[in-house]
Amino acid sequence: MTMADRERDFENRFIHDQELKFRIRARRNKLAGLWAAGIIGKTGADANAYAQEIVRVDFEKPGDDDVFEHLRDDLAKAGSDLSDADIRAKLVELLQQAEREVMAE
């Protein structure tokens, strides 16, 4: 195996890993949107639309703050008494679930 082959393999692995991370985060965000939709009182198509909105929100800023802030604000408007720690813990839990689901595909 030449050095060029090794570089190509490394680049391909890196791209694959980045795509996998993206899919896991998108899945987590969809799951978080569906979770929050249930608390807010959205069902069916409205819940799915809200979940897609949460997926799109993740593109606003790097990191999880955009998703967290959007969920926190929407849940507070709906009268939820979930704390910031509760929401962040749920995001961690859903990230683990999303990872299991994506890896099983």
- For the chain, which residues make up each domain, given as ranges? 25-104
Considering the domain delimited by 25-104, tell me its CATH architecture.
Orthogonal Bundle (1.10)
Its sign, for the CA torsion 92, 47, 69, 63, is positive
Q: What is the DSSP letter of 64?
A: S
**pLDDT tens string 4-58:** 778 888 888 888 889 999 999 999 999 999 999 999 999 999 999 999 999 999 9
**How deeply is 104 buried, as exposed, middle or buried, from its count of CB atoms within 10 A (0-12, 13-18, 19+)?**
exposed
3-state helix, strand, coil in the chain (%, to 5): 80, 0, 20
Gyration radius of the chain's alpha carbons: 17
Q: pTM of the predicted model, to two decimals?
A: 0.88
Give the model's pLDDT for residue 14. Answer: 87
Q: What is the reported pLDDT for 11?
A: 87
Q: Which residue has the higher pLDDT, 97 or 5?
A: 97
pLDDT of 67 strictly over 80 = yes
